[in-house]
Chain A
Amino acid sequence: MDAVPSIKAFELPLSVKSNDPVNGEYRRLVLAAPQDLLARCRAGQFFHLLCPQAGGETPYLRRPMSIYGFYPDQGELHFLYKVTGAGTRALATLALGDKLNVLGPLGEPFTIADDWQNLVLVARGVGLATLAPLALEANRLGRKLTAICSARHPDYLMSTDYFASLGADVITLTDAEGTSDLGNLEQVIEGLVAAGRADAFYTCGSNRMLRLLQTIGERHGIPGQIALEQQMACGIGMCHCCVRPFNRGDRQVHLRVCREGPVFDMMEAIAW
């Protein structure tokens, strides 16, 4: 411990540029953000949002939300969310020009090792939001990316155009088309492995996908990273509310999703 840590997280009121539905279930919130804040953001990190007391809702604690996009040139910070509770219902009331108090960027980002040339991203639903900035980073580093996007219905597939615009191969699987079952997903991934197009996996959110990717990862010695969630209070690391268990060596350890995560080694993660 050599010195006092530098300031890395900022609490700022940001102006809403837009807050519109992207389909029947999800909304995209675009905030105007200072360039130096955006320059600190990394794929996989999150902000802790102080949702407004609005629309009859009285959310108290901040709500962690992964960064959907950060664009220093445009001065924009994007979030993708599904309205599920008091916090997100209050968020949905935000209109152009309203202020939203954000704290961040927080947490450990995704990393892309030098020898991971072919990345495979596997996500479902809102999990695609968390992985979207990873596609941008992969593109920036010139890595090949395959994005396997799963949803209940083709109408709820998100970010697929975005992934494609960044040069990713997009594979869509939906419940409605009967293509999203685990058996089919395994075949798709095994096909990528056989073709030498899977040096590392990135995923988030789904227990079933985690188990499958761990099995395939173990089978072929392919590493991966997973972004995880947990109820949080402080978002910075003080309170130890948001721990999850992980396998490390021959024992189980509890790590804070806000601090040691939200991105973790996929093989150390424990399905829940």
Chain B
Amino acid sequence: MVDLSVDIGGLKLKNPIMPASGTFSEDLAEVFDLDRLGAHVTKTITRGWRDGNPTPRVCEVNGSMLNSIGIPSKGVGAFLEKVVPFYAHYETPLVVSISGNTADEFATLCSEVSVPGVAAIEVNISCPNIEEDGKAFAIRPSSTHDVMRKLRAATDLPLWAKLTPNTGETSEVARAAEEGGADALVVANTILSMAIDINTRRPKLGNLMGGLSGPSLKPIALRMAYQCARATNIPVIGCGGISTIEDVIEYLIAGASAVQVGTATFIHPTAMISLIDGLEDWLAGQGLSSVRELVGSVIDGEQDEAVVFMEAAP
């Protein structure tokens, strides 16, 4: 019997597989039993109503996809009234993803969603679409620290900070989030990208630019998860391009304590279930008794100089 349970900043999960925000909703309950998952992570909500971005909101690139959904949200009232009670039917802990245009608005929402039934709050300080030109709090250490301090003061629930690949200061941002009060880091969101139809010469997304997700993102997000695990003393939840059991194991070895699965669910809606079963089988096959034995087991002792050099590279 393999122990799949992990502890994410005080929150115990029965297994380390959970959905990435924006790729999961109540609708998936019509495809499989949601209680199999380690956690439920909602699509990001904002305080007020948001329509989201113009269509097309999605396009595919070779082996991956771009999206610019733009966080359509029915607002916090509808969320507390309908979504939170839905998940009360499940034992799996509910993690609510939130975002805001300003640090104060963000903190107010953080306080408003700190209600019974919510086990942790994922703060999406990285969504590349919410502000003009893809700017987000988690691009810089200072803005990360400021917003995390305000969010920390607004709730007693565990806070997971979702970081962005659209930064050149991954380790510094990770440390700023930790110092600002994050209990865990989710690494990472989509990377700002673009695709153009060569026949019409128009960008393929209505919003012109969007976030890349899927297998192409994995090496980038894996590198970041590794950097964040080294830079901080809080759990890292790996996220980016995970679709196979090998991907999950790679993130765990890199230092992630758990992983989020997103785009793979669009291709195979039961992908997360396959990964939970596959992880258990793989660990058993390796003679490991706990998934925790794998976390951070990367052998990298002689590589310090290269790591420093690569971090300085653009």
Residue B95 lies at the interface, judged by CB distance under 8 Å to chain A: no
Inter-chain contact A238/B22, CB cutoff 8 Å: yes
Contact (Cβ within 8 A) A236 B58: no
B267 at the interface (CB under 8 A from A): yes
Report Cα–Cα, A50/B269, bound state, in Å: 11
Q: Does A254 lie within 8 Å of B52, measured CB to CB? A: yes
Within 8 A of B (CB), among A1-26: 1, 3-11
| Bound: A62/B57 CA distance, A | 15
Do most interface residues of chain A lie in helix, strand or loop, or is the interface mixed?
loop
By the criterion of a CB under 8 Å from any partner CB, how many residues of chain B are at the interface?
41
Q: Across the interface, do B31 and A9 meet the contact criterion of CB distance under 8 Å?
A: yes
Residues of B within 8 A of A7 (CB): 30-32
Please determine whether B30 and A62 come into contact, CB atoms closer than 8 angstroms.
Answer: no
- Among A8, A59, A230, A243, the most chain B Cβ lie within 10 Å of the Cβ of A243
Knowing A11-B270, A243-B52 touch, does A60 contact B63 (C-beta < 8 A)?
A: yes
Please indicate the chain A residues that have their CB under 8 angstroms from the CB of B90 in the complex.
Answer: 4
Q: Are A60 and B72 in contact (CB under 8 A)?
A: no
- Residues of B contacting A241 in the complex (Cβ-Cβ under 8 angstroms): 55-58, 67, 69
Task: Render B35-67 as a binary contact track against A, CB cut-off 8 A, 1 for contact.
Answer: 000000001000000011001111111111101
Q: When the two chains form their complex, are residues B67 and A239 in contact, meaning their CB atoms are under 8 A apart?
A: yes
Q: Smallest Cβ distance from A237 to chain B, in angstroms?
A: 4
What are 25 A-B residue pairs whose CB atoms fall within 8 Å in the complex? A1-B85, A1-B89, A3-B89, A4-B90, A9-B269, A50-B268, A60-B60, A60-B64, A231-B56, A231-B59, A233-B67, A234-B265, A235-B266, A236-B27, A238-B27, A238-B43, A238-B265, A238-B266, A239-B23, A239-B67, A240-B52, A240-B69, A241-B58, A241-B69, A244-B55
Within 8 A of B (CB), among A111-133: none
A236/B30 contact (C-beta < 8 A), A60-B62, A60-B63, A241-B69 known: yes
Q: Tell which of A3, A231, A235 has the most Cβ of chain B within 10 Å.
A: A231
A38 at interface (Cβ–Cβ under 8 A)?
Answer: no
For the A-B complex with A9-B269, A234-B266, A239-B67 known, give 5 more contacts whose Cβ atoms are closer than 8 Å. Answer: A1-B89, A5-B26, A11-B269, A60-B62, A243-B72
CB pair A58 B63 closer than 8 Å = yes
Q: Are A231 and B85 in contact (CB under 8 A)?
A: no
